[in-house]
């Protein structure tokens, strides 16, 4: 855990110093919103601002990250994910440049939180849940008896049950745009049902 905190603080200081627009998503956002688990990567969506990339990559190198510039530049150009490994641990940063409407929206909606004395930009809970829906996709072929064996489903249930005032209507509209209404319905049913098998998870 100390290694992960070190990773987050080093990257956050760089992005804040460069006044970059970013948002933490993925496992770190899930943990921040109430799910106690581990993760080996730090997922970040960055604003697609090419003017700041050279300074950002140079700062990462100076902070002891293994930056493979050609891979990073190709990912930036193509709008794909790229991993940058930490030389001080077995952890990594997974970067994604904002290109699509979903990525731009989560950047716009990022909330400011405090983490280890730093201000961080974090995906709001609805965006975290929506991210899980997108990642899971169509789960109609998964039997009810197997659903809780999927870590991303447990992430959704835990975060949903530990938060208040979630904008369900927004989630429904977003899921509908991707044809994932049934996925959301199944996840909400699980999150709202007090199965004995679930209780040990929370």
The pLDDT tens digits for 127-138 are 999 999 999 999
Distance CA(59)–CA(53), nearest Å, equals 10
Q: Which of 102, 122, 142 is the last residue of a domain?
A: 122
What pLDDT was estimated at residue 196? 42
18 and 101 in a single domain? The answer is yes
Query: Do 8 and 52 reside in the same domain of the chain?
Result: yes
**Same domain, residue pair 17 and 101:** yes
Is 112 in the same domain as 15?
yes
Mind listing the pLDDT tens digit for each residue in 83-113? 999 999 999 999 998 988 999 999 999 999 9
Nearest to 73 by CA among 94, 50, 93, 91: 50
Give the pTM: 0.91
Same domain, 23 and 90: yes
6 and 83 in a single domain? The answer is yes
Contact 57, 72 (CB under 8 A): yes
Are residue 65 and residue 10 in the same domain, yes or no?
yes
* Cα dihedral 121/73/58/23 (nearest 10): 0
Q: List, for residues 152-194, the tens digit of each pLDDT value.
A: 999 999 999 988 889 999 999 999 999 999 999 999 999 988 5
81 and 19 in a single domain? The answer is yes
pLDDT at position 198: 47
With beta carbons less than 8 A apart as the criterion, state whether 41 and 93 touch: yes
Tokens standing for 75? 């990912």
Instruction: Report how far residue 135's alpha carbon sits from residue 143's, in angstroms, rounded to the nearest whole number.
Output: 18
Given pLDDT bands bounded at 50, 70 and 90, which one contains residue 78? confident
Helices (H) and strands (E) in the chain, counts: 10, 7
**What was the pLDDT predicted at 195?**
45
49's CB contacts (< 8 A; 6+ apart) are 20, 21
Domain that residue 11 falls in: 2-122
CATH of residue 54's domain is 3.30.460.40
- How far is 147 from 160, CA to CA, in rounded Å? 16
Q: Which of 64, 93, 122 is the last residue of a domain?
A: 122
Average pLDDT over all residues of the chain: 91
Beta strands in the chain (DSSP E): 22-25, 41-46, 65-66, 82-86, 92-97, 111-115, 118-122
């Amino acid at each position: 855990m100390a290694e992960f905190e070190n990773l987050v603080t080093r990257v956050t200081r760089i992005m804040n110093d460069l006044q970059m627009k970013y948002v933490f998503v993925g496992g770190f956002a899930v943990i921040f919103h109430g799910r106690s688990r581990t993760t080996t990567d730090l997922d970040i969506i960055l604003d697609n601002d090419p003017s700041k990339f050279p300074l950002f990559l140079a700062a990462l190198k100076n902070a002891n990250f293994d930056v493979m510039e050609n891979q990073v530049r190709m990912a930036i150009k193509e709008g794909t994910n790229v991993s940058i490994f930490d030389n001080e641990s077995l952890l990594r940063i997974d970067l994604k440049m904002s290109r699509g409407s979903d990525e731009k929206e989560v950047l716009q909606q990022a909330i400011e939180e405090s983490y280890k004395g730093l201000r961080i930009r974090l995906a709001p809970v609805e965006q975290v849940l929506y991210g899980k829906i997108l990642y899971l996709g169509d789960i109609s072929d998964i039997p009810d008896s197997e659903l809780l064996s999927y870590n991303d489903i447990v992430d959704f249930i835990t975060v949903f049950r530990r938060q208040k005032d979630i904008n369900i209507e927004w989630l429904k509209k977003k899921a509908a745009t991707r044809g994932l209404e049934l996925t959301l319905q199944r996840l909400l049913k699980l999150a709202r049902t007090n199965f004995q098998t679930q209780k040990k998870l929370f």
